Amino acid sequence: MSRKNLAVTAAFAALSLATSAFAADTLVAAKVAAPPNASRGAADPAWAKAKPVKVALIGGANFKDGATAAVLKAVYSGDTFYMLVQYDDPTESVRRSPYQKQADGTWKMVTDPDDAGGDNNKFYEDKLGIIWNINDSIKGFNEQGCAVACHTGEGKPFGNKYTEKAGEHADMWHMKGSRNGVWGQVDDQYVDNTRYDKDKSPNAGRKGDPGGPDYKAFGPVNGKPEFMNKDGKAANKGGTYWLKASDKAPFDDSKFVPGDEVASIIVAPYTGDRGAISSGMKWVDGKWTFEFSRKLTTPSKYDVQFSDLGRTYGFGLAVYDNAQVRHAYVQEPMHLTFQK
């Protein structure tokens, strides 16, 4: 066979492989008359109308062999898009670096001794990330997946997220279980081509959409946590590992004994562009169920716009098991289409 024919054969084989992968990893949003009710979870009748897509995720800290499997469904109703994601996670993780009372009566923040900087894998929270290619602006994303925006090393143990060129933007839906999840929201973020700089841009290209406020960590005062929940409960005895402003109270050390833990963060609901995505979350018997909803179109330039239901939209999926950054991810490029 001639060199030219070999090249043609190889090209057709590659095209065939890409087409089969595209079909296998295409999520179709079914059109439904009535939107799913988040209180019913995956049992809502609307989800029965959507074809499930099962994907394998690899490379994540704390998952068995670094892997898990997820099932995705999508529907739309009226002017709103809905997505359901379920995956196996044997533990519900909410213990995000709390303060703990020691045997001698002092207080200490519980931290991962192996954390080399922004890499907590022992005392964190479960999270989920979905990243969308805005206007197909990111070269290679739809064909290779969201890994085209991942860059290892560069000053961090697990690397950085940014696009290669100016004008390439991704919409990132970042579900943080112990922060925005408690408000029924997703942190609506975006990714641009900003490179990592320890002082000027520690998060590289990952940024929050306009709006806020974000969560706030609080430090110890005179060696003790500054605040506690007004109910006086330790987080590990029926309390919470986060504080809402309405539940915040001055700290009273007399209410706690050695081994008790209290939150180290104050959480608040997002407003503006950053609060555009609603969510529901539930962990039962080793499985997470997340539901997301957002308007098909928004006024924000930082959001993917599902304005053309005849188009295909590229996206990626990652899940985190008690890990700050070491997520399990889908290797193959994912795609979303809409049923007419």
Domain that holds residue 248: 99-118+217-265
Residue 19 lies in a domain: no
Among 265, 290, 325, identify where a domain stops: 265
Residue 60 lies in a domain: yes
Whose structure tokens read 């359901």? 84
**What b-and-e string marks burial along 202-215, b requiring 16 or more CB atoms within 10 Å of the CB?**
ebbbbebbeebeeb
**Residues 250 and 191 both lie in one domain:** no
Residue 94 lies in a domain: no
Residue 21 lies in a domain: no
In order of 108, 131, 183, the CA distances from 144 in angstroms are 44, 13, 34
CB atoms within 10 A of CB 334: 24
Nearest to residue 175, comparing CAs of 186, 164, 191?
A: 186
Which tokens belong to 269? 């609901």
**Per-residue confidence (pLDDT) for residue 340, from 0 to 100:** 87
Whether residue 279 has pLDDT greater than 80: yes
Residue 3 lies in a domain: no
Residue 10 lies in a domain: no
Residue 261 lies in a domain: yes
Residue 13 lies in a domain: no
Phi first, then psi: give them for residue 324, nearest 5 degrees: -75, -45
3-state secondary structure of 69: strand
**Residues 85 and 103 both lie in one domain:** no
**Residues 201 and 130 both lie in one domain:** yes
Q: Which of 137-141, 156-160, 281-285 bottoms out in mean pLDDT, i.e. has the lowest?
A: 156-160
CB atoms within 10 A of CB 144: 14
**Per-residue confidence (pLDDT) for residue 24, from 0 to 100:** 54
**Residues 226 and 297 both lie in one domain:** no
3-state secondary structure of 196: coil
Nearest to residue 213, comparing CAs of 232, 185, 239, 233?
A: 185
Whether residue 303 has pLDDT greater than 50: yes
Rounded Cα gap, residues 229 and 244, in angstroms: 8
Share of the chain above pLDDT 90, in %: 89
Whether residue 78 has pLDDT greater than 70: yes
**220 band by pLDDT with thresholds 50, 70 and 90:** very high
**Residues 148 and 279 both lie in one domain:** yes
Whether residue 8 has pLDDT greater than 80: no
Dihedral (CA of 129, 133, 138, 142) sign: positive
Residue 328 class from Cβ within 10 Å (0-12 exposed, 13-18 middle, 19+ buried)? buried
**Per-residue confidence (pLDDT) for residue 19, from 0 to 100:** 34
Among 239, 265, 291, identify where a domain stops: 265
For the chain, the residue count is 340
**Residues 53 and 82 both lie in one domain:** yes
Rounded Cα gap, residues 180 and 150, in angstroms: 24
**Residues 241 and 221 both lie in one domain:** yes
pTM comes to: 0.91
**Residues 84 and 228 both lie in one domain:** no
Whether residue 3 has pLDDT greater than 60: no
**Residues 83 and 227 both lie in one domain:** no
CB atoms within 10 A of CB 79: 9
**Residues 258 and 135 both lie in one domain:** no
Rounded Cα gap, residues 219 and 226, in angstroms: 7
Number of compact structural domains in the chain: 2
**Per-residue confidence (pLDDT) for residue 1, from 0 to 100:** 40
Phi first, then psi: give them for residue 190, nearest 5 degrees: -145, 165
Share of the chain above pLDDT 70, in %: 93
**Residues 184 and 311 both lie in one domain:** yes
Among 233, 265, 297, identify where a domain stops: 265
pLDDT in tens, 111-139: 999 998 999 999 999 999 999 999 999 99
Nearest to residue 41, comparing CAs of 284, 279, 289?
A: 289
Assign residue 58 the CATH number of its domain. 2.60.40.1190
Whether residue 49 has pLDDT greater than 60: yes
**Residues 243 and 318 both lie in one domain:** no
**155 band by pLDDT with thresholds 50, 70 and 90:** confident
Nearest to residue 150, comparing CAs of 272, 12, 326, 323?
A: 326
